[in-house]
Chain A
Amino acid sequence: MSTKKKPKLAVWKFASCDGCQLSLLDCEDELLAVAGEVHIANFPEASRAVVRGPYDISLVEGSITTPHDAERIHKIRRVSKSLITIGACATAGGIQSLRNFKDVRDFISIVYASPQFIDTLNKSTAISDHVTVDFELRGCPINKYQLVELINATLNGRKPNIPTYSVCVECKRKGIVCVMVAAGTPCLGPVTQAGCGALCPSYNRGCYSCFGPKETPNTTSLGAWFEHLNVPKDDIVRAFRGFNAYAEPFRKESEAYEK
Chain B
Amino acid sequence: MKSKSIKVDYLARVEGEGRLLVKIKNNKVSDVKFNIIEPPRFFEAFLRGRRFTEAPDITARICGICPVAYQMSSLHAMESICGKKVTGPLRDLRRLLYCGEYIESHALHIYLLHAPDFLGYEDAIQMAKDHPELVKKALRLKKIGNDLMILLGGREIHPINVKVGGFYKVPTKKQLEEHIEPLKWALEFALETVKVTATLPFPDLERDYEFVSLHHPEEYPLCEGKLVSNKGVDITIDDFLKCFEEEHVEHSTSLHARVKARGDYLVGPMARYNNNFDRLPAVARKAAKEAGLEKSCSNPFKSIIVRAVETAFACHEALRLIKKYEMPDKPYVEVKPRQGTGHGCTEAPRGILYHRYKIDSNGVIQDARIIPPTSQNQKSIEADLLRFVEKNIELPHDKLTWQCEQVVRNYDPCISCSCHFLKLKIERE
Chain A residues close to B by CB (< 8 Å): 13-23, 25-26, 28-29, 31-32, 35, 40, 43-50, 65-66, 69, 94-96, 98-99, 102, 104, 106-108, 110-114, 117-118, 120, 124, 140-141, 196, 199-200, 202-205, 208, 210, 235, 238, 243
Distance from B419 Cβ to chain A, minimum over Cβ atoms (Å): 9
Asked whether, in the complex, the Cβ of B247 is within 8 Å of the Cβ of A120, the reply is no
In the complex formed, the residue of A with least CB distance to B107 is: A28
Cross-interface CB contact of A110 among B42, B61, B252, cutoff 8 Å: B42
Asked whether, in the complex, the Cβ of B61 is within 8 Å of the Cβ of A113, the reply is no
Asked whether, in the complex, the Cβ of B125 is within 8 Å of the Cβ of A199, the reply is no
Asked whether, in the complex, the Cβ of B12 is within 8 Å of the Cβ of A48, the reply is yes
In the complex formed, the residue of B with least CB distance to A40 is: B125
| Besides A95-B43, A99-B42, A205-B169, 7 other A-B contacts (C-beta < 8 A) | A107-B42, A111-B42, A112-B40, A117-B248, A120-B39, A120-B40, A238-B51
Residues in B whose Cβ lies below 8 Å from that of A111:
40, 42-45, 420
Bound together, the chains give a CA A117 to CA B63 distance in angstroms of 23
Q: Is B338 close to A, CB under 8 A? A: no
A114-B61 in contact given A22-B157, A35-B125 (Cβ < 8 Å): no
Return the CB mask of B73-94 against A: 1 if under 8 Å, else 0. 0000000000000000000000
Asked whether, in the complex, the Cβ of A141 is within 8 Å of the Cβ of B39, the reply is no
List 24 A-B residue pairs with CB atoms under 8 Å apart, sorted by A's residue number. A17-B63, A18-B65, A22-B65, A25-B108, A28-B140, A32-B125, A35-B128, A45-B15, A46-B13, A46-B112, A47-B125, A49-B123, A66-B39, A94-B61, A108-B40, A112-B255, A114-B250, A117-B248, A118-B253, A120-B39, A140-B61, A141-B155, A203-B154, A203-B168
Bound together, the chains give a CA A55 to CA B156 distance in angstroms of 29
Asked whether, in the complex, the Cβ of B45 is within 8 Å of the Cβ of A205, the reply is no
B13-69 interface with A by 8 A CB criterion = 13-17, 38-46, 48, 50-51, 54, 57-58, 61-65, 67
Q: Is B414 close to A, CB under 8 A? A: yes
Q: Which 6 A-B pairs have the closest CB atoms?
A: A19-B64, A47-B123, A107-B45, A49-B122, A98-B46, A28-B143
Residues in B whose Cβ lies below 8 Å from that of A243:
61
B158-194 interface with A by 8 A CB criterion = 158, 160-161, 163, 168-169
Residues in B whose Cβ lies below 8 Å from that of A13:
16-17
Distance from A147 Cβ to chain B, minimum over Cβ atoms (Å): 12
In the complex formed, the residue of B with least CB distance to A232 is: B362
Return the CB mask of B115-130 against A: 1 if under 8 Å, else 0. 0000000111110100
Q: Is B346 close to A, CB under 8 A? A: no
A18-B64 in contact given A28-B143, A48-B13 (Cβ < 8 Å): yes
A203-B169 in contact given A22-B157, A44-B10, A46-B13 (Cβ < 8 Å): yes
In the complex formed, the residue of B with least CB distance to A207 is: B160
Residues in B whose Cβ lies below 8 Å from that of A107:
42, 45-46
Distance from A255 Cβ to chain B, minimum over Cβ atoms (Å): 15
Residues in B whose Cβ lies below 8 Å from that of A47:
12-13, 122-126
Asked whether, in the complex, the Cβ of B50 is within 8 Å of the Cβ of A205, the reply is no
In the complex formed, the residue of A with least CB distance to B136 is: A32
Cross-interface CB contact of B157 among A14, A66, A141, A208, cutoff 8 Å: A141
Residues in A whose Cβ lies below 8 Å from that of B38:
15
Q: Is B341 close to A, CB under 8 A? A: no
Distance from B394 Cβ to chain A, minimum over Cβ atoms (Å): 23
Residues in A whose Cβ lies below 8 Å from that of B64:
16-22, 141
Bound together, the chains give a CA A141 to CA B10 distance in angstroms of 24
Asked whether, in the complex, the Cβ of A15 is within 8 Å of the Cβ of B39, the reply is yes
Residues in A whose Cβ lies below 8 Å from that of B425:
none
Q: Is B416 close to A, CB under 8 A? A: yes
Asked whether, in the complex, the Cβ of B161 is within 8 Å of the Cβ of A203, the reply is yes
Return the CB mask of B396-429 against A: 1 if under 8 Å, else 0. 0000001001000000001010001000000000
Bound together, the chains give a CA A48 to CA B46 distance in angstroms of 34
Bound together, the chains give a CA A102 to CA B47 distance in angstroms of 12
Residues in B whose Cβ lies below 8 Å from that of A112:
40, 248, 253, 255
Residues in A whose Cβ lies below 8 Å from that of B156:
26
Residues in B whose Cβ lies below 8 Å from that of A31:
125, 139
In the complex formed, the residue of B with least CB distance to A89 is: B61
